[in-house]
Amino acid sequence: RAEGVSKNETQARADAIKEALVAKGVEVDRIEAVGMGAGGSRVDFLIVQTAAAPKPAGPAGDAEAPQSP
């Protein structure tokens, strides 16, 4: 632990960062905030699983027409 930095302080910082990420659109269930009680203003991220990137939308009207039987 860094001298003078409490676990409560780093947990509050971690929670604030989580709230900011959720406000930017990250799903709340994908983030766990853990204050480690060390490193004055340092923040680490651990990516445990990545999601597939969404497919980009094509130009409007670019969909294929349904096929007739």
**Residue entry with tokens 């969909």:** 63
- Average pLDDT of the segment spanning 34-56: 77
pTM above 0.85, yes or no: no
Q: What is the 3-state secondary structure (H, E, C) of the chain?
A: CCCCCCHHHHHHHHHHHHHHHHHCCCCHHHCCCCCCCCCCCCCCCCCCCCCCCCCCCCCCCCCCCCCCC
pLDDT of 22 reads: 92
Does residue 11 surpass a pLDDT of 60? yes
